[in-house]
Each structure stands twice: as structure tokens, then as C-alpha cells.
Amino acid sequence: MTKPLKPLAAVVFAGLIATVDLATKAAIVERLAYGQQIELLPSLNIVHVINQGAAFGLLATAGGWQRYLFIVVAVLASILIVRMIRKPETGSAERIGLAMILDGAVGNLVDRTARMGVVDWIDVYVGVHHWPAFNIADIGITLGAAIIVLHALFGVRAAAPAADKTR
């Protein structure tokens, strides 16, 4: 039987990934001019873009108010996620998923408060069709949500204690 992941370990994991996210964003801002792109592999570019909206540019042209909405949502979500991670009944798989979502929320929150938006730098494409640019925080949110959904669908729950049959 494996030892369950402790809440502190999950939060530290989230902090490490958020740090990597912020370091990569800082490197992109330092080394690439806004709008510049570098072909890394066929179908993969490194780019420097700022997303003022939410995922995939949602509300990017809303006039600026959305920045404050996304900051408030990220703070509230982070508080809720930490509370969920700390619950004793939260399993290791759920803690990993929640930690990945937390790292994404924190990484994009820090970026959004420091800039007018979030630095996205990974550009995946096929031919002329580009997926919206994204970053490590976005990967964390997506993988974390997938882990939680898969765990909810297929995860093994601890068996309920057997009823006392000695009555």
C-alpha cells in the first residue's frame, strides 16, 4: 500500500510548477519581442503573446474589466482549492489534480497582476490551423482537471467498513 500524498506536499508541488511557469514566461518576455515567433519543431512554435482574456482568449476584447474579474476568480479558486487539498478525505490522485489546477491559477494570477494579461508562448499548429497559444499554467489546469475527472469516473474509492455481523 502506498503512502498517501500529504496536503503540504501537494501545495509544494503546485508552488514548484508555478515557479517553472513564471520562469518560462519571464524568459519569453526577456528574449522575444512581442509577437515574435521561433519555429522549434514542425507544428510547434515558441511565440510571445499576451492573452488579456481567459482560456483561449475568451473575453479578450471586453475592454479591460475582465482582468479584475479573472483576478478575483483566481484568488477565490485558489482559496477553495487549498481547502479541498487539506480535507482528510481527499485522496492522493485528487490532491495531485487539485495541485496542478492550483499551480495554473497561481501562475496566471501572478502574471495577470504584473501585466495587463497572461504571457502565452506555446504555439501548436497543423498547416495554417493554430491552436490558441498557451503556457505551462494552462497545461497544469488542463491536466489537473483531467486527473480529477478521470479519478471521479474510474478511481477506486476506499471500501466502506463492513457492517458488524456479530449482533
Give me the active site residues, please. Answer: 120, 138
What is the residue type of 10?
A: A
β-pairing verdict for 129-130 and 118-126 = antiparallel
**Alpha-carbon gap, residue 133 to 164, rounded angstroms:** 57
**Alpha-carbon gap, residue 165 to 167, rounded angstroms:** 6
Do 118 and 50 contact (CB within 8 A), yes or no?
yes
Helical ranges in the chain per DSSP H = 7-31, 65-86, 92-114, 136-154
The three three-digit cell numbers of residue 74, written as one number? 483566481
- Tally Cβ neighbours within 10 Å of residue 127: 6
